[in-house]
Amino acid sequence: MKKASKHRESGREFYTPERCYITELLNTSDDPGVSLARARVEPGVTTRWHRLVGTAERYYIVSGRGRVEVGDRPLREVTAGDIVLIPPLCRQRITNTGPEDLIFLAICTPRFSDDAYEDLGDDPSPA
């Protein structure tokens, strides 16, 4: 890791096929151990089932409310301040159940890479 500071406005939001908006806040080969992204899910939207190969993920809920599904665990309601732990290869998705955008930070270790992402579609059966 190199010494650095990054301005909070340096990332650009983009829409993903997963049905959410992402702003990469930190994802660089200079710091391969971790990545940080801001995710935004619009009201009423459920992201697609997916999992990450070789990468653990944590969600820190910043604002809004939702329902998260991780692996075969029961649905869990989440609100600001909640943390969700997602081991590698564990299927996951999140639904915005509130009237405003659901905003959360996605922290990945090691850092997120597109080749780690596996889309599992909308089928609710375990992968």
Q: Which two tokens stand for residue 93?
A: 């998705």
Q: Residue 110 domain-assigned?
A: yes
Q: Residue 4 domain-assigned?
A: no
Is the predicted pLDDT of residue 126 greater than 60, yes or no? no
Q: Residue 3 domain-assigned?
A: no
Phi, psi of 115 (to 5 degrees): -70, -15
Q: Residue 64 domain-assigned?
A: yes
**pLDDT per residue as tens digits for the range 65-115:** 999 999 999 999 999 999 999 999 999 999 999 999 999 999 999 999 999
Single pTM value for the model: 0.90
pLDDT class of 7 with cuts at 50, 70, 90: low
Q: Which residue has 């190199």 as its token pair? A: 2
Q: Residue 6 domain-assigned?
A: no
- Number of structural domains in the chain: 1
Q: Residue 12 domain-assigned?
A: no
Rounded to an integer, what distance in angstroms lies between the CA atom of residue 126 and that of residue 106? 22
Rounded to an integer, what distance in angstroms lies between the CA atom of residue 112 and that of residue 44? 26
Rounded to an integer, what distance in angstroms lies between the CA atom of residue 108 and that of residue 37? 9
Q: Residue 14 domain-assigned?
A: no
Per the prediction, the chain carries an average pLDDT of 92
- The residue segments making up the domain with residue 46 are 19-121
CATH of the domain at 59: 2.60.120.10
Is the predicted pLDDT of residue 127 greater than 50, yes or no? no
